[in-house]
Amino acid sequence: MSATTRLVKVMYIAGWGRSGTTIVDNILNSYDGVFSTGELFYLWSRGLIEGRKCGCGVTLPRCALWGDILDAAFGAERPDPRRMFRLQRQAIRVRHTRALTAPVAGPEAEEYRQVTRRLYGAIGEVTGARLIIDSSKIPSAAALLPGMAGVEPYLLHMIRDPRAVTHSWMRTVPQVDRGKPAMMHREAPAASTMHWLVRNALAERLAGAYGGRYRMLRYEDFVARPRATIESLLDFAGVDAVDGPFTDDVTVSLATNHTIAGNPGRFRTGEVALRADDRWRQEQAPGPRLTATALAWPLLHRYGYRARTSLPNRPVRPPAPRVPEHSKLS
């Protein structure tokens, strides 16, 4: 079976940034037979056009592994990165998510789907991975997977308390994957919380298209039981948790990765003791906290978060999937 037709399992991580996706991504990548692409959506723009660093430390155009993957997928006829970026901006916008769950999308979206399908196939062929993790988080790109030939798709919907997310987006974080010093983009409380609302609502709406292959995970639940949670995710995808990176229930040894774009934490390797990052509870000013609480109200209680942050989060079962009109894709 060629790189374009080989059946591969892909777990797509959806949600809004600063929700713990990077550490979950890196831990999964450290298991035998699992390969993380990082934010594959940004291969064309941040990776090949801007030349940002791969998780291995070299610029992505110079990474031998990604060179082998692109050769296996496309040979000498690699797609023009600028054209792929234009396709994303024309047909794979977040607002297109609902339309992209249809069995057949528009011609631009179908072209993009076929290119991504070939990439996934080549990644499986070159790395030998039994499970590919794509932590792009973009719901519109996630909408393409259930209709993608040769792919067995899984959707991991990651959520974090919106007050914590807002606090993280307001912090000054160095951008370490560029050639010159820079700071990562920051989001104001209102903007961050609106993105949180939209991304989580759309990710949950995709559950119907993925059938029984949808899983919701709160950052707070993950960090309370990291090893058990990660092993549960692998079981969910039908992959044995062998040769894992955990040295005990909360300590993990992270392997070098080949991730694209994302939080600077993706460059971290070696032993890491996992614990909740709840600095926001002491450091966050009242204004941003009230803004995030008020705007997130429609989904706050649905996901088990208290309006009063002095109270512990309540246990929550994953909400019943919302089945979209175009749900018979598999």
- What does the pLDDT look like over 29-47, one tens digit per residue? 999 999 999 999 999 999 9
| Closest-CA residue to 17 (of 221, 227, 201, 164) | 164
What string of DSSP letters covers 273-293?
Answer: E-----THHHH--HHHHHHHH
> Which pLDDT band holds residue 123 (cuts at 50, 70, 90)?
very high
Residue 37: exposed, middle, or buried by beta-carbon count in 10 A (0-12, 13-18, 19+)? Answer: buried
Instruction: Map tokens 């990644």 to a residue.
Output: 123
Q: What integer is the mean pLDDT of 157-176? A: 94
Q: What integer is the mean pLDDT of 44-67? A: 97
Structure tokens that stand for 210 in this block: 């993925």
Give the DSSP H/E element, type plus range, for residue 31.
none
For residue 214, what pLDDT is reported? 98
Q: What integer is the mean pLDDT of 216-222? A: 98
Per-residue pLDDT tens for 250-283? 999 999 999 999 899 999 999 999 999 999 999 9
Give residues with Cβ within 8 angstroms of 67, minimum separation 6. none
For residue 173, what pLDDT is reported? 86
Contact 22, 266 (CB under 8 A): yes
For residue 5, what pLDDT is reported? 54
Q: What integer is the mean pLDDT of 314-325? A: 61
5-32 burial, b at 16+ Cβ within 10 Å, e below that, comes to eeebbbbbbbbbbbbbbbbbbbbbbbbe
> Which pLDDT band holds residue 318 (cuts at 50, 70, 90)?
low
Q: What pTM was computed for the model?
A: 0.93
Q: What integer is the mean pLDDT of 114-134? A: 98
CA quadruple 196, 10, 273, 270: dihedral positive or negative? negative
> Which pLDDT band holds residue 172 (cuts at 50, 70, 90)?
confident
Q: What integer is the mean pLDDT of 67-82? A: 98
14-18, 91-95, 305-309, 319-323: segment of lowest average pLDDT = 319-323
Q: What is the overall mean pLDDT for the chain?
A: 92
Q: Phi and psi (nearest 5°) for 133?
A: -105, 125
Percent of the chain with pLDDT over 70: 94
Q: What integer is the mean pLDDT of 38-64? A: 97
